[in-house]
Amino acid sequence: MRKNRKDSAIMKSKNVQLSALKESNAKNTYTKTRRKKQNGFCYKLVKYRVFLLMLLPALLYTLVFSYIPMGGVILAFKKYSYAGGIFNSPWNGLKNFEFFFKSGQALLVTKNTVLYNLLFIAFNTCLQITVAVLLTEVKNKHFKKISQSIMFLPYFISWVIVSVIAFNLLSFDYGVINSIIEKLGGEKINFYTTGTVWPIILTLFGAWKGVGYGSVMYLAAIMGIDTSIYEAASIDGANVFQRIFKITIPLMMPTVVILFLLAVGGIFKGNFDMFYNLVGNNGVLYNYTDVIDTLTFRALISNNDFGMSAAAGLYQSVLCFVTILLVNKLVSIYSKDYTLF
């Protein structure tokens, strides 16, 4: 009896175990099917319907204004006719590119775009770092605030207004710079026909407009430096210049490198706003001031040469894309945190 009872007890417990196992098995298959459902595309479409609805306007906008024009690059290989539009115009092979490269314009505008950008990057970086470092040394709060505000002023105005200001300074007859040159007994310069001075003029105006904006980023980098490092250095007897060159600047380097690389990513992009407003449609200066963007614009608007303009545009987009990929690779070698994607 006893044994029997024991047996039945064991049987019972086994039964319980078995049923528990069965139950858990059933649960497992249940969760499995549920998980399958959760991973399904349609399930997620329903689950995320509010998110997707909220994204919809921006998605449509980007699709229409960014992605559809990307498809339009095929125009670079077509002979555009107004009747045919993008899709029904006849193919033109590589003739648009041939024309663009053989005219010698491709080489000229590429060279100009790259050299101007290198000049801008070098000059702006040096100027903005100098301003940021020196601004942190200014102890008078009012001076600091006011001078920073004034440096920010040019950032807020349009390039159209800058062009009037430039005329005010550079005009042959009434310009301030020529008045000064005349007073000093020199010979007046006609800036608007002298190509060689434009790299300087454009660099200075670019720096003028960007100094307040650009220095803020370097200021933020300096603010992030631990002040105890400075205290330790001053106890060790470092003078103020050593402090700047041995601590501030080395510790700013990550920011400097990142901003430099980002700027290099856009090296094939000309600042159309700046070039077009300051130089204008001034044929005398093309050799010195024509960049890819101004050429593309002129080919489209003035000459109605859709094919060549599209070819130049595609050429620029591809160069930009390749440089950004290269730069991103460089950034990832330098620091994984700063990669763009």
Partner 1 sequence: MKLKIKAASYEIKKSSDAKLLSFLAYFINGVIALFCLIPFIMVVSASFSSEEAIKRFGFSLYPREFTLEAYTTVFKEPMVVLRAYGVTIVLTILGTLAGLFLQTMTAYVLSRKEFEWRNKFSFFFYFTTLFSGGLVPSYILMTRYLGLKDSYLALFLPLLFSVYNLLVMKSYIMGLPESLIDAAKIDGCGEFGTMVKVVIPLLKPAMATVGLFIALAYWNDWYNAMLYIGKESMHPLQYFLYKQVNNIEAYKRIIESQQVSSEAASAMSMPTQSLKMALTVVVTGPIILLYPFVQKYFVQGITIGAVKG
Strand partners, 78: 91
Q: Is 278 in the site for partner 1 (CB under 8 A)?
A: no
Is 306 a binding residue for partner 1 by CB under 8 A? The answer is: yes
Q: Are the CB atoms for 209 and 154 separated by under 8 Å?
A: yes
User: Among 4-12, 26-34, 53-61, 104-112, which window interacts with partner 1 (CB under 8 A)?
Assistant: 53-61
Binding of residue 256 to partner 1 (CB under 8 A): no
Out of 92, 105, 175, 285, the residue judged to bind partner 1 by CB under 8 A: 175
In angstroms, rounded to a whole number, what is the distance separating the alpha carbons of residues 160 and 175?
A: 18
- Does the footprint of partner 1 cover residue 30 (CB under 8 A)? no
Nearer CB in complex with partner 1: 146/284: 146
Question: CA angle, 114 as apex, 309 and 262 as ends, to 5°?
Answer: 105
- Number of residues binding to partner 1, judged by CB under 8 A: 98
**Rounded Cα gap, residues 49 and 43, in angstroms:** 10
Give the binding range for partner 1 (CB under 8 A) out of 15-23, 102-110, 117-125, 153-161. Answer: 153-161
Nearest of 106, 59, 151, 25 to residue 292 by alpha carbon: 106
**Which is nearer to partner 1, 18 or 85 (by Cβ)?**
85
Tell me which stretch binds partner 1 (CB under 8 A): 13-21, 22-30, 101-109, 305-313: 305-313
- Of 18 and 172, the one with the shorter C-beta distance to partner 1 is 172
Please work out, in degrees rounded to the nearest 5, the angle formed at the alpha carbon of residue 209 by the alpha carbons of 137 and 289: 135
Query: Which window, 1-9, 13-21, 118-126, 164-172, contacts partner 1 (CB under 8 A)?
Result: 164-172
In the complex, least distance from residue 194 CB atom to partner 1, rounded to whole angstroms: 19
Asked if 66 interacts with partner 1 (CB under 8 A), we say yes
Query: Could you tell me which of 298, 297, 299, 280 has the C-alpha nearest to residue 289?
Result: 280
- At position 95, the amino acid (one-letter code) is K
Subset of residues 112 to 151 that bind partner 1, contact rule: CB under 8 A: 127, 130-131, 134-135, 137-140, 143, 146-147, 149-151
Q: Characterize 166-191 residue by residue with b for buried, 16 or more Cβ atoms within 10 angstroms of its Cβ, and e for exposed.
A: beebbbeeebeebeeeeeeeeeeeeb
Binding mask 205-244 for partner 1 (x = CB under 8 A): ---x--xxx--xx--x----------------x-xxx--x
Binding status of residue 94 toward partner 1 by CB under 8 A: no
Is residue 253 near partner 1 by the rule CB under 8 A?
A: no
Rounded least distance, CB 31 to partner 1, Å: 19
Residue 307 near residue 78, CB atoms below 8 Å? yes
185 sits near partner 1 (criterion: CB under 8 A):
no
291 near partner 1, judged by CB under 8 A: no
92 touches partner 1 by CB under 8 A: no
Give the span between the Cα atoms of 276 and 257, in whole angstroms.
Answer: 30
d(C-alpha 279, C-alpha 166), whole Å? 10
What is the smallest separation between the CB atom of 30 and partner 1, expressed in angstroms?
23
DSSP string, 47-104: HTHHHHHHHHHHHHHHIIIIIHHHHGGGGGGB---TTTHHHHSPB-TTHHHHHHHHTS
